[in-house]
Amino acid sequence: MEFRYFPLYIFIIFLLSFCISDPQTKKEKEDYQNQSLISAALNGNERSDCIYCSDTRAFEGNCSCYKQIPVFSCAGIPSGKGKSNSYKISCDELIELGIWSQTSTESYSCSYLTCPPEAYRAAFTEEGK
């Protein structure tokens, strides 16, 4: 190996590393996902079921399930006792479990005595179940 070509070898390896690597960084992917979520939320046509529980710790709070409301109005509450979620939530599936009272044509509620554990799990897990 001749050392006079060493800088050329380094340059070729450097170029190949750019061709092989993923052009999107993790931050770019997260920014794109956040932008997509905001776009969907601001679009009034995006609707989903939403579960809100006032206290998910030790299954102590009351929960409400709302059918087909704008996604933006069910913003996830990230911390504290209360939690909400609209991702992979189906009120029709949840109200089959536990004892729910119908508060309007499109909403239901249950107390800590009658809410099923699935309602609390739906409110505080990303998967909704």
> Each residue of 53-90: pLDDT tens digit?
887 676 778 889 999 888 777 765 555 677 777 777 88
72 lies in some domain:
yes
- Asked, for residue 112, whether it belongs to a domain, the answer is yes
Residue 61 lies in a domain: yes
Is 10 within a domain? no
User: And the tokens for 9?
Assistant: 């070898």
Question: Are 66 and 50 a contacting pair, CB within 8 Å?
Answer: yes
28 neighbors 50 (Cβ within 8 angstroms): no
- With a threshold of 0.75, does the pTM exceed it? no
Domains of the chain: total? 1
Query: What is the rounded distance in angstroms from the CA atom of residue 26 to the CA atom of residue 113?
Result: 43
What is the residue range of 54's domain? 40-124
Question: Using a CB cutoff of 8 Å and minimum separation of 24, what contacts does 68-73 make?
Answer: 68/106, 69/106, 70/41, 70/44, 70/46, 71/40, 71/41, 71/46, 71/47, 72/41, 72/42, 72/46
99, 108 Cβ separation under 8 angstroms: no
Confirm whether 71 is domain-assigned.
Answer: yes
Instruction: Answer whether residue 12 is part of any domain.
Output: no
Indicate if the alpha-carbon torsion angle 46, 47, 48, 51 is positive or negative.
positive
In a domain, 73, yes or no: yes
Q: Is residue 14 part of a domain?
A: no
Q: Per-residue pLDDT tens for 6-57?
A: 777 777 776 656 555 444 556 666 665 666 666 565 665 678 888 888 876 7
